[in-house]
């Protein structure tokens, strides 16, 4: 099935998109598939929790899975990290995420 996710891009524009729960996608891949961030600025490590280019801020009150040690470690080194930061590539699209709202963190230079 598809769920709705709101994604605020790096220009502050809100996109409400449909994301499939049955294609084993993560949030970073969804952002890429809708081209909400320029190629080469997101998903640089391929989803290995090793670059933080997919960092986003979770704005809605969803009980998301805990961060793995790898995600924690990467966020500890990243820039612009906030309380609600997550790595999009570590968030697998599930039905529980219906209505999720996230904002893409600024590009790391």
Residues forming contacts to ligand FES in the complex (CB under 6 A) are 28, 43-45, 47-54, 74, 87, 89
Q: Closer CB to ligand FES, residue 1 or residue 40?
A: 40
Q: Which residues contact 66 (CB under 8 A, 6 or more apart)?
A: none
**Least distance CB 29 / ligand FES (angstroms):** 9
Output 43 or 101, the one with its CB closest to ligand FES.
Answer: 43
Residue whose CB is nearest to ligand FES in the complex, by number: 89
Which of 43, 97 has the CB closer to ligand FES? 43
Q: How far is the CB of 3 from ligand FES (least distance, A)?
A: 20
Give whole-number Cα distances, 83 to 20, 80, 86, 90, in Å.
27, 10, 9, 16
Residue the block writes with tokens 């704005």: 59
How far is CA 18 from its chain centroid?
Answer: 14
Closest distance between ligand FES and the C-beta of residue 107, in Å?
13
Displacement of CA 37 from its chain's centroid (Å): 11
């Amino acid at each position: 099935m598809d769920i709705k996710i709101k994604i605020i891009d790096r220009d502050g524009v809100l996109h409400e998109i449909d994301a499939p729960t049955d294609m084993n996608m993560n949030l970073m891949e969804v952002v890429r598939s809708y081209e909400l961030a320029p190629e080469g600025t997101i998903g640089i490590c391929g989803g290995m929790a090793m670059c933080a280019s997919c960092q986003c801020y979770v704005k809605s009150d969803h009980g998301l899975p805990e961060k793995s040690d790898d995600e924690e470690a990467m966020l500890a080194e990243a820039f612009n990290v906030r309380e609600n930061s997550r790595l999009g590539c570590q968030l697998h699209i599930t039905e529980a995420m219906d209505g999720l709202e996230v904002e893409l963190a600024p590009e790391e230079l």
